[in-house]
Structure 1
Amino acid sequence: MSDKRDLTGVWYGRYTGDYEDNGFIALLNEQGGAVDGSVSERDPNGIVDIRRASVSGTRDGTAVRFVKQYDGSGGFDHAVFYSGMIDGDGTEVSGRWQIDRYNSGGFVMTRESFTADELAEEREAELDAPVR
């Protein structure tokens, strides 16, 4: 991945709005600016443990747009439209979501970024750790 802003990876996020404030995990894949993936989030209403959705969208430079389409779990089967910007480090996307003209809010999602040296150091520490 030569472009740090490539959205491929695991993202931890939170959306906020008038009716719900909830965390989510997004697993995204980007190829040639096309983005797809999946989102899992807990159901604060307790109907199901986890609500699931698919993601489809685009990234053009720093601009990110995608649609989150719920799969029907927990009574959610609608689409949510997201629009935001990714930072230059490729570690945070923030912006707005909208269902219709009455339901909208903000969101932010982040991912951790590791250098090759940091990953090598972690691997060395794992190999040196005693086996239990």
Structure 2
Amino acid sequence: MTDSLTGVWDGTYTHPRGIVTFLATLIESGGALAGNVTEPCTSPACPLSTHNASIAGHRSGSAVSFVKRYEPPGYGYGTVFYEGTVNAEATEIDGRWRLPGMSGTFLMVRSTRPAESVVAEEQTKEPAR
């Protein structure tokens, strides 16, 4: 498998409060993974409507592992560990996430949207300042 994971990914993960959708941008270079995630806050007490997180990890063949760090941490969010498998076409990554005392599943599907349109779409969702 040589297809790069660099690109935009639509994702979901299971959580005790239900299924959460997210948007991830990954950059793969020499097996190292970096990127960012945007997702809604699911905690009723959360003052933020959207969370941003960074991703750092690696890929070896079809095995992928990364750490997602929420920025800023808090509101029940901090560091989450992910381990998954990439399909042969490098269009899906599925696996499990874990926190101390809690875990669930996740699925990421390569988006057909170019990164530029995703950035523009996210910018239009932000409230005016």
**Mapping for residues 65-80 of structure 1, pairs under 5 Å:** 65-72=65-72, 75-80=75-80
Give, in whole Å, the separation in 1 of the partners of 2:64 and 2:18. 22
Note if contact 2:10-2:111 (Cα within 8 Å) is conserved in structure 1. Answer: no
* Deviation beyond 3 Å, 4+ runs, structure 1: none
% identical equivalent positions: 40
Q: Which amino acid aligns with 1:48?
A: L
Q: Which amino acid aligns with 1:28?
A: L
Q: What residue is the counterpart of 1:105 in the other structure?
A: 104
Give, in whole Å, the separation in 2 of the partners of 1:103 and 1:113. 32
Q: Which amino acid aligns with 2:64?
A: V
1:13 and 2:11 equivalent?
Answer: yes
Q: Deviations over 1:38-89 (max 9, x none)?
A: 0000123352121010000000000000000001266255100000000001
Give, in whole Å, the separation in 2 of the partners of 1:69 and 1:82. 11
Structure 1 residue 17 displacement after superposition: 2.6
CA RMSD of aligned residues (A): 2.1
**Mapping for residues 16-35 of structure 1, pairs under 5 Å:** 16-35=14-33
Q: What residue is the counterpart of 1:3 in the other structure?
A: 2
What's the TM-score once normalised by structure 2's chain length?
A: 0.78
Q: Which amino acid aligns with 1:104?
A: S
Q: Which amino acid aligns with 1:92?
A: E
**Mapping for residues 83-122 of structure 1, pairs under 5 Å:** 83-100=83-100, 102-112=101-111
Rg (Cα) greater in structure: 1
Indicate the structure with greater strand content: 2
What's the TM-score once normalised by structure 1's chain length?
A: 0.76
